Amino acid sequence: QVQLVESGGGLVQPGGSLRLSCAASITDFSIRSMAWYRQAPGNERELVASISRSGRPTYADSVKGRFTISRNNAKKTVVLEMNSLKPEDTAVYYCNTADSLRNYWGQGTQVTVSS
């Protein structure tokens, strides 16, 4: 059984920072790729960043240089550090992993960037 629980969202001014965390209840966490997605109202869910089991990160062009994804296999957590936030980063952010059967999602955490 896979459970993902996000935390750390909130309201921040443009240019500010937030740190999102995902706690995973997964027995094989260390061999899974993990990812963060986001979905703004009226938009499709989009990939923000992912990290391979070896720790190699990839980023959407829109967040490169501003966001950093990392993982701690001992704690089974994935963190998304978000800096220089923009109003267009406003969305619900979801933690994700997948296997051959399906995608797994957390409940999401709201990030609002507004003055």
Q: What is the mean pLDDT of residues 84-90?
A: 98
pLDDT bracket for residue 100 (50, 70, 90): confident
pLDDT at 34: 98
* 89 Cβ neighbours under 8 A, 6+ residues apart: 38, 63, 82, 111, 113
Query: What pLDDT digit, counting tens, does each position of 3-57 carry?
Result: 999 999 999 999 999 999 999 999 899 999 999 999 999 999 999 999 999 999 9
